[in-house]
Chains A and B, each alone.
Chain A
Amino acid sequence: MIYFILIIFLLLLMIGAAIYAVNQKDLLYAVIATGIISLILSILFYLLQAPDVALTEAAIGVALTTIIFIITIRNTVRYEEEEKTKFKSEVK
């Protein structure tokens, strides 16, 4: 009974983190939400009786993917820009 409640809670948390990662304007928070998706996925792999896959996903998805995204954000912009191409459509 307790496993059922735990699994339903983890699945709802994963859907919430995915929606938050796609709709956020501040790019640093979107990258941290992607790391949270990988962490919840690692716990679910353990509950589905697959320990090798859980080790690999926890090491690669949380540590290395997040650090490469953050280095890219430091070399480029941080906020997602607004659309400034309104005047181009009037010229055509």
Chain B
Amino acid sequence: MKKVLIILLLAVVGYFTASTFFDIGFGQQPFVEGVKPVKDVYLDKTVSTLKVANTVTSIVVNFRGFDTLGEVTVLFLAVTALGSILYKKRHQVGERSVLFSASKIVTSGSKLLFPAIVLLGAYVFIHGHLSPGGGFQGGVIIATGFLLMLLAYENFSVGHTGLSIIESLAGITFAGVGLLGMINGGTFLENFLPTGVLNDLFSGGVIPIIYIAVGFKVTAELTGVIYTVLH
């Protein structure tokens, strides 16, 4: 009886929501006439003022950089809450060893794959302003490489102290660059280094510096999450 009522309620709500979206249409021009949309301003300013080739990177770091600072803070809070909820007593470690080495193919193959994955992740987050990629994507790729090594070997440890130091230094770099922009220019997180030529590696002011710091921080956090849950 309860299932039938819930299906009926979801069908009514879904029908009225869907009919609103069907009126808008798929693949049309922006539906406000006579007003200059925001995307034209962002697309023009990216090439003429900032000289950065990837528009999404310049929006995430420079035009709406404060939201990225909030997101990094939320990730840090989630990892702290996870570590404090899964508290484990020390004398229960020797009960049942649930980690064991995998077979021969996995152990010898993962030793070859691990440097290639780290190199790919570092390439993705260093060239964040020239091609699709950036700090978040590169950091998650490197964390996947560490997960492969943790699953294949039974005594592979990463050192909890080193991860904490890397994560804290990257967070301090992000906030420090913002405060430096406030001292030199006028506002928080402003671009104060000179911008180079389009499609160059060192173009774009402070954007590569901020994205490299975000890449290191995401890597350290996600590796810490997986290490906490496994042990």
Contacts and interface: CB of A to CB of B under 8 A. Distances in A.
Tell whether any CB of A sits under 8 Å from a CB of B in the complex: yes
Interface of A: 51-52, 55-56, 59-60, 63-64, 67-68, 71, 74
Chain B, interface size category, equals 10 to 19
A42 B38 CA distance: 27
A74 B229 CA distance: 11
B133 A60 contact: no
B144 A59 contact: yes
A59 B226 CA distance: 15
Contacts of A64: 140, 143-144, 147, 222, 226
A55 B229 contact: no
Interface of B: 54, 56, 98, 124, 132-134, 136-137, 140-141, 143-144, 147, 222, 225-226, 229-230
A56 B147 contact: no
B144 A52 contact: no
Given A64-B226, A67-B147, 18 more contacts: A51-B132, A52-B132, A52-B133, A55-B124, A55-B132, A55-B137, A56-B137, A56-B140, A59-B141, A63-B140, A63-B144, A64-B143, A64-B147, A64-B222, A67-B226, A68-B225, A71-B229, A74-B98
